[in-house]
């Protein structure tokens, strides 16, 4: 369950830190561009979840799935961490798509990993509490990084770390989680 909490924390940290700090990064481009970028970020999250809702695959326990979703977050975050403002629209779309895919996959894990139906709520509670706890500190640490470095793109270093976390934890999913799924 701690892997699920780490995955959920990574995607939440990526999303909330991006939403919190992209307005500061894009300030020179004006409100209209910022609005379009934020709309694209949110739309990409919804697109990823909608596509997975129609999929009848066991992606939630697939290491490749989290490799792809985490890599999308990582690619978008790396661009923003280098201050590529002119590319913010596709970079935000990558982060949103990766975070949305991860969110949907991780939400399926508590019922897969729980020993019984009675444990699902407890597992989900643990995953959500730990994940949102991690996400809460993302924007705060981003502000600390900005204050210490003076680099407006510094908060996106955390988003790069979140993408790497998703990939790293996702690659550790394997036989035990898949066995839980098959046993049902």
Over residues 86-128, the pLDDT tens digits come to: 999 999 999 999 999 999 999 989 888 888 888 899 999 999 9
CATH topology of domain 2-182: Growth Hormone; Chain: A; (1.20.1250)
Residue with tokens 């210490």: 148
Task: Report domain extents, the chain.
Answer: 2-182
pLDDT in tens, 9-27: 999 999 999 999 999 999 9
Q: What is the DSSP string of 106-120?
A: HHTHHHHH-SSHHHH
Phi, psi of 46 (to 5 degrees): -65, -40
Q: What is the pLDDT of residues 48-89, one digit of tens each?
A: 888 888 876 788 889 999 999 999 999 999 999 999 999 999
Q: How far apart are CA 16 and CA 44, in angstroms?
A: 14
Residue entry with tokens 């790497």: 164
Exposed, middle or buried: residue 78 (CB in 10 Å: 0-12, 13-18, 19+)? middle
């Amino acid at each position: 369950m701690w892997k699920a909490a780490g995955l959920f924390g990574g995607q939440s940290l990526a999303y909330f830190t991006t939403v919190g700090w992209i307005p500061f990064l894009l300030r020179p481009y004006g409100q209209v561009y910022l609005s379009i970028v934020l709309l694209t970020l949110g739309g990409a999250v919804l697109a990823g979840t909608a596509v997975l809702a129609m999929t009848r695959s066991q992606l939630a326990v697939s290491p490749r799935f989290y490799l792809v979703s985490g890599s999308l977050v990582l690619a978008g975050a790396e661009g923003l961490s280098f201050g590529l403002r002119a590319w913010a629209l596709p970079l935000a779309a990558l982060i949103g798509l990766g975070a949305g895919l991860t969110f949907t996959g991780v939400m399926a894990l508590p019922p897969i990993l729980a020993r019984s139906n009675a444990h699902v709520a407890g597992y989900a509670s643990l995953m959500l509490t730990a994940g949102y706890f991690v996400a809460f500190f993302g924007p705060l640490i981003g502000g600390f990084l900005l204050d210490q470095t003076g680099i407006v793109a510094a908060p996106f270093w955390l988003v790069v770390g979140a993408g790497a976390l998703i990939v790293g934890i996702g690659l550790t999913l394997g036989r035990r989680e898949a066995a839980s799924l098959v046993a049902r």
